[in-house]
Structure 1
Amino acid sequence: MFSLFRENIRIATDSIKGQVLRTILTILIIAIGITSLVGILTLVGALENTISGDFASMGANTFNIQRYEFEARNSREKEKINPIISYRNVKTFKEKFEYPFTKTSIYFTGTKNAEVKFESKKTDPEASVLGVNENFLDNTGTEIDNGRNFTFFDIENNNPVCLIGSDFKKDLFKNTNPLGKTISIRGAKFKVIGVLESKGATFRNNQDLRVLIPLQIARSLFTLPNIDYAISIKVDDKQFLEGAQDEAIITFRNIRKLNPIENNDFGIERSDDLLNRIANITVYLYYAAWIISIITIFGSSIALMNIMLVSVTERTREIGVRKALGAKKHTIAGQFFMETIIIGQIGGILGIILGILIGGGISSIANFAFTTPWLAIIAATTISFIIAVVSGLYPAIKASNQDPIESLRYE
């Protein structure tokens, strides 16, 4: 039995070597289908890891008060235009909200295209500047790579100090320790007291090219009307999260002077709600990836079957000789079936490699968090084998059922 199996492999290998061009084209057809599957699944997985990582860094014990809910903020049309969250709103909230075991962070984005200067160097006008209080880093899951965080006295005394993103070390402070150095933003000078850990970029939102400065100083620098503030509340123990959220809603409704029958004119977002919503969205992306890939792979299987049928036709006389010498039906079928399996697996391996390279390359360019797509690899290996079995079954049966006398007459 083993000797017959080994003989079938040898015959299949010799046949593959004898038709190099056809074999290469067949392998490429299969590889294209597998590449599309692995590449898309790799890219979707990297996208999911990146987005989930960004929101997970907020922590499971955090919720935000902002102008709109997540759905309304990302939809083209808003059913209701909520008023901005003003400085007076957030200041009053911080004074009135006294739920135990919580930290409240107030912040706003002053600009997303600031020019930051250090001595004779300056950045392109693409840095973000945020006004924050001392709890911003804790509530957003941001870590200090070097230096220290703001203190309560830094914020209350409006000390001209700042925290900078890790990207500033690549150009503005190349070969220089930024701690203790003074940078300039819109003519205001700030002493660098800390460098933030790298968090990467998502959809051109570079979190490593930003400067955090005390809230009141930011308000004096950025005086545009209708600045929209945000509030982040972190609970030390998750069991108090629901209570803290209810208390925050009641407090902010009172600040907005809403009567009991009016709906909230602001949004509440919990970090774990966002993660669940993202997971639901990525499920549809996976469905789309599978549908696109299956269509491509279906085309590949048809092409492989057609090529194997052509091979059976061309080798009709060879089949007749083998049968005349005593080869049985299952032996003939096994030879063609083995040839299809080998071609299918080579195409599958090539498709997996190309898919990972393409998906990983795009993920790298887009700054997505790439991880080895084991699910895609296992799926591709299984599918390539199924393709070979399905595509090779009919040609193998057709070859084994040929009449030896008619096959010997074939020209």
Structure 2
Amino acid sequence: MFTLFRENIRIALDSIKGQLLRTILTILIIAIGITALVGILTLVGALENTISGDFASMGSNTFSIRQYEFSTVNNGQREKINPIISYRNVKEFNETFSFPFSKTSIAFTGTRKAEVKYESKKTDPEVAVLGVNENYLENTGTKIDKGRNFTIFDINNNNHVCIIGSDFKKELFKNVSPIGKTISIRGVKFKVIGILESKGATFRNNQDLRVLIPLQVGRSIFTLPNINYNLNIKVDDKQFMEGAQDHAILTFRNIRGLSPVEENNFGLERSDDLINRIASITSYLYYAAWIISIITIFGSSIALMNIMLVSVTERTREIGVRKALGAKKSTIAEQFFMETIIIGQLGGVIGIILGIAIGGGIAMLASFTFSTPWIAIISAATISFIIAVISGLYPAIKAAKQDPIESLRYE
């Protein structure tokens, strides 16, 4: 039994080598469909990992108050215009919100185009500068690689200290420890007290090229009107989340002066809610990937079946000779079926390699978090096998049913 199986593989490989150009084209047709599937699923998976990782670092016991709810956008437009979260709002909230075992962080982005100087060196004007309080790092899941965090003394006394992103070590502080060094932003000097762990970039927003400075110092440097502040609240125990959210909503409604019948003119978002919404959005991308790939793969299966039918016709005399020498119908069918399986699997393997390479390459260029797409690989291997089975079944049956006498007469 094993000898016959091995002989069928040898015959199939000899046939493939005899029609090398046609076989290569067939394999490429299958590989294109598999590449589309694996490539898109790899890229979507990397995108999902990146976005989910950014929010997951905040923890499931964190929520934020912002200008809008995540879901208030319809067709690119807001249902209503909410006022910004002003400094007066966040200051009053921080002073009045007193839920047990909770911490409030305040932050704002002063600019995303700052130029940072150290001695005779300076960066390109693409550095983000954030004004934050002492709870910002903990509440946002941002970690210190070296040095220390801000203390309440640094914040209350407006100390000119800063924490920088990891990218500053590559050029501005190349071969020099940044801790204790003095940098300049808009002519204001800051002493570096900490370096953040690397977080990479998301949608060209480089998280490693930013400077954190004390909140009030930041407000004195960046005085643009209508700055929108961010409020993040972290509860030590997740079981208190609902109570903390209710208390935060009530507190902020009072700050905004809303009557009991008025709707909230601000949004409240939990980090895990955002992750769930992102997952639901990326699910549509997965559906699109499957639809595109199935259409391509359907064309591949038709092409493979057509080529195998041509192969049966071209090898009619060979089939007749084999039957005249005693080959059974099942043996003839297995030979053609094995040839189709080999072609299908070769196309699948090449498609998987190309799909991972293309999807992973794009993910790396976009600074997404790449992970091996095992579901895509297993799906692609299964689909390529199914394509081969479906495409090879009819040609194999047709070859097995050939009349040996008519086959020997075939020219």
Q: Deviations over 1:2-35 (max 9, x none)?
A: 2221211111111111111111111111111111
Give the match for residue 178 of structure 1: 178
Partner Cα distance (1:344, 1:230) in 2 = 54
Which aligned pairs between 1:3-402 and structure 2 lie closer than 5 A? 3-72=3-72, 76-402=76-402
Partner Cα distance (2:125, 2:298) in 1 = 50
Partner Cα distance (1:2, 1:78) in 2 = 68
Partner Cα distance (1:173, 1:391) in 2 = 61
Partner Cα distance (1:131, 1:262) in 2 = 32
Q: Which stretches in structure 2 are left out of the alignment for 5+ residues?
A: none
| Length, aligned pairs only | 411
Structure 1 residue 75: Cα displacement = 6.0
Structure 1 residue 73: Cα displacement = 6.1
Structure 1 residue 76: Cα displacement = 2.2
Secondary structure of residue in 1 paired with 2:71: helix
Partner Cα distance (1:51, 1:270) in 2 = 15
Q: In the alignment, is the contact (CA less than 8 A) between 2:69 and 2:268 conserved in 1?
A: yes
Partner Cα distance (2:51, 2:145) in 1 = 22
Q: Deviations over 1:260-314 (max 9, x none)?
A: 0000001101001001111111111111111111111111111111111111111
Partner Cα distance (2:175, 2:75) in 1 = 44
Partner Cα distance (1:387, 1:267) in 2 = 50
Q: In the alignment, is the contact (CA less than 8 A) between 2:73 and 2:79 conserved in 1?
A: no
Corresponding letter in the other structure for 2:152: F
Q: Deviations over 1:131-189 (max 9, x none)?
A: 00000000000000000000000000000000001111111111111011111111111
Secondary structure of residue in 2 paired with 1:71: coil
Corresponding letter in the other structure for 2:133: N
After alignment, is 7-16 or 143-152 more displaced? 7-16
Structure 1 residue 406: Cα displacement = 1.4
Partner Cα distance (1:76, 1:332) in 2 = 61
Q: TM (normalized to structure 1)?
A: 0.98
Partner Cα distance (2:125, 2:71) in 1 = 31
Q: TM (normalized to structure 2)?
A: 0.98
Partner Cα distance (2:33, 2:337) in 1 = 20
Q: In the alignment, is the contact (CA less than 8 A) between 2:13 and 2:339 conserved in 1?
A: yes
Corresponding letter in the other structure for 2:229: Y
Corresponding letter in the other structure for 2:76: R
- 1:45–1:227 Cα change, 3 Å: same
Secondary structure of residue in 1 paired with 2:63: strand
Partner Cα distance (1:174, 1:261) in 2 = 59
> RMSD of the TM alignment (CA)?
1.0
Partner Cα distance (2:73, 2:127) in 1 = 23
Partner Cα distance (1:90, 1:75) in 2 = 30
Secondary structure of residue in 2 paired with 1:70: coil
Partner Cα distance (2:204, 2:80) in 1 = 28
Partner Cα distance (2:6, 2:241) in 1 = 65
Partner Cα distance (1:73, 1:221) in 2 = 33
Structure 1 residue 394: Cα displacement = 0.6
Secondary structure of residue in 1 paired with 2:234: strand
Structure 1 residue 74: Cα displacement = 8.6
Secondary structure of residue in 1 paired with 2:14: helix
Q: Deviations over 1:330-350 (max 9, x none)?
A: 111111001001111111111
Secondary structure of residue in 1 paired with 2:212: strand
Structure 1 residue 92: Cα displacement = 0.6
